[in-house]
Amino acid sequence: MRSKSTAKTALIVEDETDTAEMLAEMIRLCGYQAHHAYSAQPVFDLLLQQKPALLLLDIILPDKNGIELLRAIRAEKQFDNLPVILVSGNCQPGDIEKGLLSGASAYLTKPVAFWELKETIEKLLQRQVFSL
């Protein structure tokens, strides 16, 4: 179970600064504190330090494919229940299926609408509460 100090934190992994800032603002409007990573390299350290309630993950990153990173995250038992929302410009049905089969909790296509992100977060975290 997450402590109260970290329960309202989200980690955003997005290499495009404008998109990262837009997602961070949406996350703040949803009542979460937003932390950024602009590449895959610091993600595991940030997950361990911040213990976020959810992760927003882009697929195209400068140092590693987001799908590969997601698979590595899911391979770690301690992150089994972490809701991961893939956020990508790749919107073909095959891309979405690949993301979900790789362990994503949800898949949103860019540009992401605020209501869509908010609804997705609420559904994922409600599901998590009921699965405890």
Please report the pLDDT score of residue 1 as a whole number. Answer: 41
Q: What pTM was computed for the model?
A: 0.90
What residue segments make up the domains of the chain, in order of their start?
9-130
Cα distances (angstroms) measured from residue 102 to each of 3, 24, 30, 64, 99: 28, 24, 26, 15, 5
The band of 125, judged by pLDDT with boundaries at 50, 70 and 90, is: confident
Quick one: what percent of the chain has pLDDT higher than 70?
Answer: 91
Q: Which CATH class is domain 9-130?
A: alpha beta
Please report the pLDDT score of residue 22 as a whole number. Answer: 97
Say if CB 40 and CB 61 are below 8 A apart. Answer: yes
Could you report the per-residue pLDDT of 44-53, keeping only the tens digit for each? 999 999 999 9
For residue 60, the 8-state DSSP code is B
Say if CB 34 and CB 24 are below 8 A apart. Answer: yes
How far is it, in rounded angstroms, from Cα 130 to Cα 120? Answer: 16
State the average pLDDT over residues 17-42.
Answer: 96
The band of 7, judged by pLDDT with boundaries at 50, 70 and 90, is: low
